[in-house]
Amino acid sequence: EPGETITFVFSDPLAHGAPATVVNLATNTVTTTLPGANPDEREMPDVDGSDTLSLPQLVVDKTATLSVDADGSGSNTPGDTIHYVITITNTGLADATNLVVNDVPDSNGDFQAGSVVAPGGVIAIGNTAGDAAVQVSFPLVPVQGQVTIEYDVVIPDPLTPGVVELVNQALADSDQLPQVPSNDPSTPDPLDPTIVPIENADLSITKVDSADPVGAGDTFTYTLEVQNAGPSMAPDVVVTDTLPAGLTLISTSGCAEDPNGVVTCSLGNLAVNGTVSYTITVQVDQGVTGTLTNTASVDSGVPDPDPNNNTATEPTTVGAVADLRISKTDNVDPVNAGDQVVYTMVVTNDGPS
């Protein structure tokens, strides 16, 4: 009817990275009939219209820095403390209201409950014993305003085998915008998670014997070789070799001797793609037979992404070896024809089996 108004209501979710100003254009098409009038002679008013919306625009950056260097290495290693800072900046044309930031630290790290600091924010999760996540709300972030959230995570010592990094990403919600993930500003990738690399070195060890089989009383040598496939330098490399029962340590080349039979070899720092080898000389104890199995293991001051190659086992077969000798004596000498002579034969086993 003339003068009647029709209202249309619709919603359109904003995409990530949308500009602060969004222009919406609406076009209305109508078909009418007017009896007795030529359709080509009608005059129709403009039915196109547009509106401009001013919106907030949130930039969420998350950084991670080494705050406590427990071992003084200058790199991220087990026992160190990582300090995270989340910065939310409103670069848009309108205020952001009811901002809520959620962040779940990597479960491979040790989140420090009670370390959350958020000036002007309400910390709902993060500062109570047992908390494993962070949730902070801000009632208002004005145009060009900025808020921050900080917390700490300790790299566990010892670290779970195979863990070489801590990865996580914060999420920011507000009344005006869809969820915005945090970005690591140190990388060119947009909206990428923040990654804390943990220094790690893939060490491997091999072990071979110089003779097999051997006999009781024999002396032979083990040669051990350690390699570092990286990606980091391996500090404080140590090889531990526990000799099995039946072997006696004679000497080592490059390692200290241990009277208890545990040969601990400190090899120092091993560069990426570096290799180092040394030898252990042993003697098979008297009376030993069967198979002697010797295992050595390698470790260093940084995590190893592949612990499956950190041990080497070498079996050595010990055969039975006996040094037999025989002696023969008579009970009388010289003798006469018709005399009886008694011979005594003695067989002796001089070992070692």
3-class DSSP assignment, residue 252: strand
pLDDT, greater one: 132 or 73: 132
Q: Residue 324: which pLDDT band, with cuts at 50, 70 and 90?
A: confident
Tens digit of pLDDT for each residue in 164-196? Answer: 899 999 999 999 999 999 999 999 998 999 999
Closest CA to 199 of 164, 228, 155, 238: 164
The 10s digit of each residue's pLDDT in 49-59 is 666 778 999 99
Q: What is the pTM of this model?
A: 0.65
Domains 58-197 and 201-319 share a fold: yes
Beta-ladder partners of 318: 214, 290
Per-domain boundaries in the chain: 58-197, 201-319, 322-352
CA angle 121, 127, 131 (to 5 degrees): 120
CATH 2.60.40.1530 is the classification of domain 201-319: yes
Residue 271: its pLDDT value, please? 94
Would you place residue 12 in the very low, low, confident or very high pLDDT band (cuts 50, 70, 90)? low
Query: In Å, what is the CA distance from 288 to each residue of 242, 276, 293, 351?
Result: 18, 32, 13, 10
pLDDT at 273: 96
Mean pLDDT for the chain? 87
Answer left, alpha or beta for residue 309, where phi above 0 means left and psi between -120 and 50 means alpha: alpha
Q: What is the CATH number of domain 58-197?
A: 2.60.40.740
Q: Is the pLDDT of residue 37 over 80?
A: no
